[in-house]
Amino acid sequence: MNRILSSILLFLLFSSAVSSQTLLERPKLVVGLMLDQMRWDYLYRYYDRYSDKGGFKRLLKEGNTCENTLIPYAPSVTACGHSVVYTGSAPAITGITGNAWWDKDQNRTVYCTEDKNVATVGSNSSKGKMSPKNMLVTSISDEIRLATNFKSKVIGIAIKDRGAIFPVGHSANAAYWYDNSVGKWITSTYYMPALPDWVTQFNDQKFPDQYYEKGWSLLFDSTTYIQSTSDNKTYEAKPLGMGFPYDLKQFIGKDYGKLSTTYFGNELTFEFAKAALENESLGQDAVTDLLAVSFDSPDYIGHSFGPNSMEAEDAMLRFDLALGKFLALLDQKIGKNQYTLFLTADHGVAHIPEFMQENRLPAGRVFTIKLMDRLNASLEKIYKIKKIILSDHNYQYHLNLHKLDSAGIAVSEIINWLKKECANEPGIDRLFALTETNTIPLPPTIKKAINLGYHPRRSGEVQLILKPGYIDASGTTGTTHGLWNPYDTHIPLLWFGWGIQKGKTIRETSMSDIAPTLATLLRIQMPSGNIGSAIKEVIK
């Protein structure tokens, strides 16, 4: 009997030894954090105000920061950014050429995640009729699933549907986003027939009402916000009222969309991410899981108040504190150095033009919709055709090719007319046919951005380039993003945790390099449309 027991023990020891030698080392969990609209300079603009117990200083000191990470394509908008970070690709390949585009095959405007073949799960609204079907490539999340024979669990979370859906690709276990008509987290039948109990229980806590009850006051005394302009400038939008402190009680039960334009949108997203981490048991076994979380409130805040506002500064200071707590939770639940985390942004933002002008800096507004309407009216008088320009999505004019062809009018004739008509238009730097991109004199950076953003079935015929500092505007307050300029395309990229080499990477890197870096780190295949390269400096 003793001899049998000894043999069994030896066999178990041998099996354990072989297993430990052959088991491929990977982190228990990959965490991707994206801030929707974070300029790279926010890392250092507020550095002295970030807490020693917060998240940004810890990531900068203990991780690796890629200081010159740029978005290589245009337009620099949310859908493109979220798809490119996780695919290592570009809109020219993913097909995600904007938050929306004029689709030549369907002859209509298409929203990036729309899917009429699925239904909302979690509310009675139509806001869940979404899926990743319009993205033409795999994501790193799909590749993790493929590499583990679909044993890895992959979950995406964001207030915006596009921020939750594109990062986790086509094969995700779940993607959740915020239904601002009811103040609840929802999903679609693409992922599941009904919400898990834990999501329903989370929604039942009515966090938005709790946040509205608190209202938004500054974290510190207003005199300490020396990196910002004074509160309530005339060129800031007023979505919440007239300035700090914001009384939000008026929105309870009436307008749950306002939550996104406060720092509470970030708080709600962190709370939901924590609940997912706990209830889905992410990172609790030997198979690597992935949690993709996007924080959309910085975008709503930035668009309304601008990057030089007290609202933007206060939201970043509060995000820093919440990030520190989230890292501590990951340490506790997953274990220090047992997870790999990266933090980046989908785009930056331009300063409000009137703020720039106030300080004698070049900037302005181009009212592109009004311009398009005016051009269409003039074209109709000349050619007797209504609405020759179908849309101005993504700084491009989409022409009515069917009507022009039927009338025997050459597209080049219309484009030449547009060039002459817009030659002296304030704020427009260049207007040219997209077919001319590689033949006309253009700086290499702009030429590359236009090429990487061009998809033949989803892009227009005419490209508009605005002067630096000028924005595409529909009103006289707030600001936006979307062009090739550094304020829109220079983004933070921080790496932290398992497999990451501590340090600082100074050379220019690309948003498209994030996915192949993860693929190299995890020793899995790159996504199917990948054009980026692994950032070797960040890998231990």
Strand segments, DSSP code E, in 117-231 are 120-121, 154-157, 174-179, 184-188
Residue type, 442: L
3-state SS of 446-501 is HHHHHHHHCCCCCCCCEEEEECCCEEECCCCCCCCCCCCCHHHHEECEEEEECCEC
C-alpha span between 259 and 266 (Å, rounded): 9
Cis peptide before 75 (omega within 30 of 0): yes
DSSP 328-388: HHHHHHT-TTSEEEEEEES---PPPHHHHHHTT---EEE-HHHHHHHHHHHHHHHH--S-S
Please measure the distance between the N-terminal and C-terminal CA atoms of the chain and give it in whole angstroms.
Answer: 49
Q: Choose the catalytic residue: 65, 69, 78, 97.
A: 78
Structure tokens at 525: 């295949």
C-alpha span between 139 and 129 (Å, rounded): 21
Active site residue 187: no
The pair phi, psi for residue 469, each rounded to 5°, is: 90, -15
Distances (CA, A) of 163 to 6, 169, 426, 478, 493: 56, 11, 34, 22, 17
Please count the residues of the chain: 540
Residue type, 457: R
469's CB contacts (< 8 A; 6+ apart) are 350, 351, 353, 356, 361, 362, 363, 364
**Which 8-state DSSP code applies to residue 64?**
E
Contact 489, 90 (CB under 8 A): no
C-alpha span between 170 and 96 (Å, rounded): 14
Angle at which helices 514-522 and 78-87 cross, to 10°? 30
Contact 498, 464 (CB under 8 A): no
Residues involved in catalysis = 78
